[in-house]
């Protein structure tokens, strides 16, 4: 969420969702009257004023004079970032790491993807993950032993298979015979599992 995007109230969020749902159901935005009817307002002006408030907060643009002229803003909310090189030290999703963004509406996958990470290096070739591939990462999905995960070890971000995970020992395996397992003690090393890899996209073969 960018800085100039103030938070919506509960009601405003409800209306924004209604707009999105209407677009997805019909292919075009609702009228003020549509909104009023759906939410039980007795005046279309109630919808009008909510729209103004939502526009003021930057989530939509109202095209004056045009019927159904509600344009959703391209907020980060609707866009999945593609993370290129991760600068050491900062958070993965820092602005400087974002190579481009892909509209959420283009998501092909059933899982929710929080970001795509561009793969660097050949440490995962044995499971078919190649340099320059994009990995779809889910932050929320609970990861298990055996999953391919995005891990951060002492400020370095890496994609590996999670082999073992206990209080004192975490084993991350590169899927490439030329590399050795990474064994980390979470009590002495800084370790964070940032997310689980749920999908892969290769833009050129």
> Would you please indicate which residues are annotated as catalytic (active-site) residues?
123, 160
Q: Using CA atoms, how far apart are residues 21 and 134, in angstroms rounded to an integer?
A: 29
Beta strands at 115-118 and 79-83: parallel, antiparallel or unpaired: parallel
DSSP 125-173: GGGT--TT-EEEEESSSPP-TT-EEEEEETTEEEEEEEEEE-SS-EEEE
Cα–Cα distance between 88 and 183 in angstroms, integer? Answer: 20
C-beta closer to a second copy: residue 65 or 89: 65
- Does 40 bind a second copy (CB under 8 A)? Our answer is no
Least Å distance, CB 51 to a second copy, is 14
Of 5-64, which residues contact DNA (CB under 7 A)? Answer: 9-12, 31-34, 36, 39-50, 53, 56, 62, 64
3-class secondary structure, 99: strand
| Alpha carbon distance 53, 198 (integer Å) | 37
- The binder of a second copy chosen from 11, 13, 63, 190 (CB under 8 A): 63
Give min distance, CB of 191 to DNA, in A: 38
* Contact with a second copy (CB under 8 A) among 18, 47, 54, 129: 129
- 71 touching a second copy, by CB under 8 A: yes
178 touches 119 (CB < 8 A): no
CB of 128 to a second copy, least distance (A): 4
Q: How far is the CB of 76 from DNA (least distance, A)?
A: 20
Which of 38/147 has CB closer to a second copy? 147
DSSP assignment letter at 183:
E
Query: Which does residue 40 touch among DNA, a second copy, none (CB within 5 to 8 A, set by kind)?
Result: DNA
> How do beta strands 182-184 and 156-165 pair?
unpaired
Q: Give CA–CA dist 194/125, Å, rounded.
A: 21
Residues that bind DNA (CB under 7 A): 9-12, 31-34, 36, 39-50, 53, 56, 62, 64-69
Tell me which residues touch a second copy (CB under 8 A).
23, 26-29, 31, 63, 67-72, 102, 105-110, 125, 127-130, 133, 135, 147-148, 197-205
């Amino acid at each position: 969420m960018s800085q100039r995007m103030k938070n919506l109230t509960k009601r405003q969020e409800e209306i924004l969702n209604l707009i999105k749902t209407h677009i997805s159901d019909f292919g075009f935005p609702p009228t003020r009257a549509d909104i009023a009817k759906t939410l039980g307002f007795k005046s279309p002006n109630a919808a009008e004023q909510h729209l103004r408030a939502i526009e003021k907060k930057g989530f939509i643009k109202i095209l004056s004079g045009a019927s159904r002229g509600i344009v959703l803003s391209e907020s980060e909310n609707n866009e999945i970032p593609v993370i290129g090189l991760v600068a050491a030290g900062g958070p993965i999703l820092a602005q400087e790491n974002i190579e481009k963004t892909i509209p959420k509406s283009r998501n092909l996958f059933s899982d929710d993807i929080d970001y795509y990470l561009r793969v660097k290096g050949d440490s995962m070739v044995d499971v078919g993950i190649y340099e320059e591939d994009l990995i779809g990462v889910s932050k929320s999905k609970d990861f298990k032993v055996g999953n391919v995960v995005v891990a951060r070890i002492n400020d370095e971000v890496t994609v590996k298979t999670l082999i073992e995970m206990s209080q004192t020992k975490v084993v991350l395996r590169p899927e490439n015979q030329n590399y050795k397992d990474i064994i980390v003690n979470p009590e002495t090393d800084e370790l964070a599992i940032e997310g689980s890899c749920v999908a892969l996209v290769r833009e050129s073969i």
